[in-house]
Amino acid sequence: MLMCVSEKCANFMISNERPSPFARRPYGQSPYGQPKPPVQEDTLKSEEIQIERKAFVFTLKENPRGRFLRISEDAGGRHDTIIIPSTGLEEFRKLLDEMVKTANEIPPKSNSPGPTEG
């Protein structure tokens, strides 16, 4: 925080101005600087699919807290991951099925002028 009084400015931090513990940080690092202890994960099944320039890896895993699906995307060196607990997989599948159905029902919009139909 920058505070100016009579043309004199001072930088100071108010006690409630702290970095958020929810800010992005490297995997495995806690907000308090202590690395998380490794958790034993067993891979139950893993499949990879290539779609255009993106590679997706679907990995069904299990650890002491339960089963989960890890979906990782690698696109041009950028790596993103989402994790879905197994208790939510059926709901996730239903929503994905709805999205696929909608994508097939609605014709794509054309961004560039094409030949006219007539």
| CB within 8 Å of 26: residues ≥ 6 apart | none
pLDDT at 2: 44
Q: What is the pLDDT of residues 71-96, one digit of tens each?
A: 999 988 899 999 999 999 999 999 99
DSSP assignment of 42-56 equals EEEEEEEEEETTEEE
31 within domain boundaries: no
Q: Which of 2-6, 30-34, 74-78 has the highest mean pLDDT?
A: 74-78
pLDDT at 114: 46
63 within domain boundaries: yes
Cα 103 from chain centre: 22
| CB within 8 Å of 22: residues ≥ 6 apart | 31
pLDDT at 42: 96
48 within domain boundaries: yes
CATH code (residue 99): 3.30.2450.30
CB 95 within 8 A of CB 102: no
Domain extent for 87:
40-105
97 within domain boundaries: yes
pLDDT at 3: 47
61 within domain boundaries: yes
91 within domain boundaries: yes
Structure tokens at 57: 């890896």
23 residue type, one letter: A
Domain count, the chain: 1
- CA dist., res. 45 & res. 86, Å (int): 13
What would the mean pLDDT of 103-111 be, rounded to a whole number? 86
44 within domain boundaries: yes
Cα 88 from chain centre: 16
The dihedral built from the CA positions of residue 33, 38, 41 and 46, taken in this order, carries a sign that is positive
Contacts 24+ apart (CB under 8 A), 20-27: none
82 within domain boundaries: yes
